[in-house]
């Protein structure tokens, strides 16, 4: 709500609600830019919640990896700092971030429901809200089932990505 008040009402940089402007732009490129302009605040609202957590985990993981013996060995062999950081350290430091991102997809989905409702975006959020108000239990169960399937698929994809990034981990396939 603070983002909405600040950037849409007090500093009218972005639209406050909806997915398109009325009237719509004439060109296809103009319509795409209009939709992107409408999605800036909702995406920022979803991203800012997780940005601090991801950056904290990434920093701690990177500091831990940079103190490892194999990084010291790579530097001793004369590898450039760019190669040491991007080829050796970053790949291993990204593993906790990938795990956290995969596990938090369910939270992102529930946050998107709230953000869609606040910003008046068409999607699952307003559908779920209206279904709860009308006590439409089959629709509520369908949305919750979709969220559960999305979370399960995200966890499977996270396991596959994790095993691809770290060959020591056995894949489920």
Q: How confident is the model at residue 87 (pLDDT cuts 50, 70, 90)?
A: confident
Mean pLDDT over residues 38-48, rounded? Answer: 84
Asked if residue 64 belongs to a domain, the reply is: yes
Mean pLDDT over residues 13-35, rounded? Answer: 77
Q: How confident is the model at residue 11 (pLDDT cuts 50, 70, 90)?
A: confident
Number of domains in the chain: 1
CA end-to-end distance (rounded Å), the chain: 44
Asked if residue 80 belongs to a domain, the reply is: yes
List the domain range (segments joined by +) for residue 106.
50-165
Asked if residue 111 belongs to a domain, the reply is: yes
Cα 56 to Cα 46, 62, 116, 134, distances in angstroms: 17, 10, 27, 41
Q: How confident is the model at residue 113 (pLDDT cuts 50, 70, 90)?
A: confident
Asked if residue 36 belongs to a domain, the reply is: no
Asked if residue 19 belongs to a domain, the reply is: no
Q: How confident is the model at residue 134 (pLDDT cuts 50, 70, 90)?
A: very high
Residue 138 has pLDDT above 90, yes or no: yes
Asked if residue 129 belongs to a domain, the reply is: yes
Asked if residue 37 belongs to a domain, the reply is: no
List the structure tokens of 136. 């439409």
What are the φ and ψ backbone dihedral angles of 135, each rounded to 5 degrees? 55, 45
Asked if residue 39 belongs to a domain, the reply is: no
Mean pLDDT over residues 39-61, rounded? Answer: 87
Mean pLDDT over residues 55-81, rounded? Answer: 89
Which residues are CB-neighbours of 132 under 8 A, at least 6 positions away?
140
- What's the pTM? 0.68
Q: What percent of the chain has pLDDT over 70?
A: 95
Q: Which of 139, 138, 118 is nearest to 128 (CA)?
A: 139
């Amino acid at each position: 709500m603070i983002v909405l008040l600040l950037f849409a009402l007090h500093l009218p940089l972005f639209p406050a609600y909806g997915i398109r402007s009325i009237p719509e732009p004439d060109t296809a490129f103009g319509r795409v830019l209009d939709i992107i302009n409408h999605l800036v605040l909702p995406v920022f609202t979803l991203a800012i919640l997780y940005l601090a957590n991801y950056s904290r985990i990434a920093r701690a993981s990177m500091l831990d990896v940079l103190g490892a013996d194999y990084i010291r060995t790579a530097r001793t062999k004369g590898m450039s700092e760019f190669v040491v950081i991007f080829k050796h350290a970053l790949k291993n430091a990204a593993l906790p971030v990938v795990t956290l991102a995969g596990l938090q997809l369910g939270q992102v989905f529930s946050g998107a429901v709230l953000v869609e409702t606040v910003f008046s975006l068409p999607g699952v959020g307003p559908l779920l809200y209206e279904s709860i108000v009308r006590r439409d239990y089959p629709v509520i169960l369908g949305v919750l089932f979709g969220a559960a399937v999305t979370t399960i698929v995200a966890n499977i994809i996270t396991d596959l990505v994790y095993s691809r990034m770290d060959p020591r981990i056995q894949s489920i396939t």
